[in-house]
Homo-oligomer: A and B are copies of this chain.
Amino acid sequence: MIDLRPVRGTRDFYPPQLRLRQWLFDIWRRTSAQFGFEEYDACILESEALYVRKAGDEITEQLYSFQDKGNRRLALRPEMTPTLARLILQREKALGFPLKWFSIPQCFRYERMTRGRKREHYQWNLDIVGQPGNVAEVEVISALIMSLEAMGLDASRVRLHVNDRRLLGEVLDHIGIPAERHLPVMVVMDKRDKVAPESLAAMLAEQGLTGPQLEKLNAFLAMEGLDEVQHALGDESAGARALDDLLSLMGRVGFGDTLVFDITVVRGLSYYTGTVFELRDRSASLRAICGGGRYDSLLSTYGGPEIPAIGFGFGDVVILELLGDLDLLPDLRSEIDYVVFPFSDEQVPAALEISQQLRRKGYRADADFGSRKLKRALQRAGDMGARHAILLMPDEMARGEIVVRDLERREEQRVGLEEFLKQTK
Contact = CB atoms under 8 A, between A and B. Distances in A.
B384 A36 contact: yes
A49 interface: yes
Contacts of A89: 4
A6 B43 contact: yes
A363 B253 contact: no
Interface string A138-149: 110010001000
Given A68-B110, A366-B35, A96 B356 contact: no
Interface stretch (A12-20, A175-183, A269-277, A321-329): A12-20
Interface stretch (A203-211, A287-295, A346-354): A346-354
A40 B15 contact: yes
Contact of A366 (B36, B96, B348, B353): B36
Nearest to A74: B7
Contact of A10 (B1, B18, B45, B383): B45
A321 B142 CA distance: 39
Contact of A18 (B33, B39, B98, B131): B39
A410 interface: no
A115 interface: no
A12 B12 CA distance: 26
Interface residues of A, number: 91
Main secondary structure of the interface of A (DSSP, over half): mixed
Contacts of A76: 45
Contact of A353 (B2, B70, B252, B360): B252
Contacts of A50: 2
A49 B2 contact: yes
Given A2-B303, A66-B66, A142-B356, A367 B10 contact: no
A103 to B, nearest CB: 8
A1 B302 contact: yes
Contact of A72 (B7, B15, B380, B384): B7
Give this chain's copy count: 2
Given A34-B364, A40-B13, A356 B8 contact: no
A101 interface: yes
Contact of A36 (B39, B108, B365): B365
Contacts of A405: none
B8 A70 contact: yes
A116 interface: no
Interface in A112-163: 120, 131, 135, 138-139, 142, 146
B302 A252 contact: no
Given A12-B90, A249-B349, A352-B139, A34 B302 contact: no
Contacts of A139: 352, 367
Interface in A56-106: 64, 66-70, 72, 74, 76, 86-87, 89-91, 96-98, 100-101, 106
A36 B100 CA distance: 36
Given A138-B352, A139-B367, A352-B139, A40 B64 contact: no
Given A1-B302, A39-B22, A101-B15, A7 B353 contact: no
Interface string A194-237: 00000000000000000000000000000000000000000000
A370 interface: yes
A159 to B, nearest CB: 19
Interface string A335-365: 0100100000000110011001001101111
A271 to B, nearest CB: 14
A170 to B, nearest CB: 25
Given A8-B72, A96-B383, A97-B370, 16 more contacts: A2-B86, A7-B46, A8-B70, A12-B40, A14-B40, A18-B38, A22-B39, A34-B362, A34-B363, A34-B364, A38-B334, A45-B120, A64-B68, A146-B359, A253-B353, A254-B353
15 contacts: A1-B302, A4-B89, A7-B45, A7-B46, A8-B70, A12-B43, A18-B39, A22-B39, A44-B44, A45-B120, A70-B110, A135-B348, A146-B359, A249-B349, A253-B356
